[in-house]
Amino acid sequence: MNYIRMVSRHATGVVKERVVRPGAPSRERLSGRTLRQADERIAALEAELRRKTEMLREVDHRVKNNLQVISSLMLLKTRRTPEGETRDALQAMAERVGALAAVHRLLYSVDESVRLNIQDFASELLGDLLAGVDTSRISVAVDFEAITVSATMAAPLALLVHELATNAIRHAFPGDRAGRLWIAGIRRGDTLHIRVEDDGVGQGTPRTGGFGRSLIDMVVRQLRGTIAWSDAQPGTRAEVVVPLDEAIR
């Protein structure tokens, strides 16, 4: 095959030679083709991302609907069950399922179904708690920073906060006792710090054999976190520390 030697002389006097094959595409043509290929590849990836995001949104929508149906069935059964331990257990379980449904509802409502602002869930939780307590006797304050967590982390985290809050309301204010409940969440470096505190009767560390305590410990382990119980004098304080997802740090 024949090649052509090309010589170019610059204004500085430097002479450069290069050998090219006749008919070979120029550098400009190669650059243009590469850019077009890159643009086409990016467009294809963006289209695939939109498709998968829409699929995730549809999954969240269906999960939310299914959880709401389950919660409704449990509440229906609760109303037909005589007052007592069984009825209380059904009511508590329906509320837990409702908390999970709230997470999927929030995930479905945002543009990105892969992450959730935990502050939005905290606002939902506050509304649910206020709807279930005598606000003239018990006041609830929620203060969460705008902290983004992954969808994988959102569900167990929501269940944990819900369980801590409802346990406090259930046990800290027996009879006609009045009081306050504080729920707070802040970010410190690569960790999320959650504090749930009441000024009720004060029970210290909940008994380990209870379902609520077992559920709390299980979720904390799942989130690779730690929990510490202490006497708030008066009341009880629970402090949870969990590492945030590496992808959103």
What would the pLDDT profile of 64-84 be if each residue is shown by its tens digit?
677 777 777 777 777 788 888
Return d(Cα 110, Cα 127) in angstroms, integer: 20
Q: Has residue 45 got a pLDDT over 50? A: yes
Return d(Cα 244, Cα 33) in angstroms, integer: 42
Regarding predicted confidence, which is higher, 68 or 177? 177
Structure tokens at 35: 């850019």
What pLDDT is recorded for position 196?
Answer: 94
Q: What is the mean pLDDT of residues 25-53?
A: 73
Q: Has residue 158 got a pLDDT over 80? A: yes
pTM over the 0.85 mark:
no
> Left if phi > 0, otherwise alpha if psi is -120 to 50, otherwise beta: which for 97?
alpha
What pLDDT is recorded for position 124?
Answer: 80
Q: What is the mean pLDDT of residues 27-48?
A: 74
Regarding predicted confidence, which is higher, 47 or 184? 184
Of the listed ranges 3-7, 82-86, 103-107, 118-122, the least confidently predicted one is 3-7
Mean residue pLDDT across the chain: 78
Return d(Cα 206, Cα 69) in angstroms, integer: 31
Phi, psi of 147 (to 5 degrees): -120, 125
Q: What is the mean pLDDT of residues 40-47?
A: 82
Return d(Cα 54, Cα 58) in angstroms, integer: 6
Q: What is the mean pLDDT of residues 122-144?
A: 84
What pLDDT is recorded for position 217?
Answer: 92
Q: What is the mean pLDDT of residues 47-69?
A: 72
Q: Which residues contact 67 (CB under 8 A, 6 or more apart)?
A: 97, 98, 100, 101, 104
- Omega before 234 cis (within 30°)? yes
Query: Do 193 and 241 form a contact (C-beta atoms < 8 A)?
Result: yes
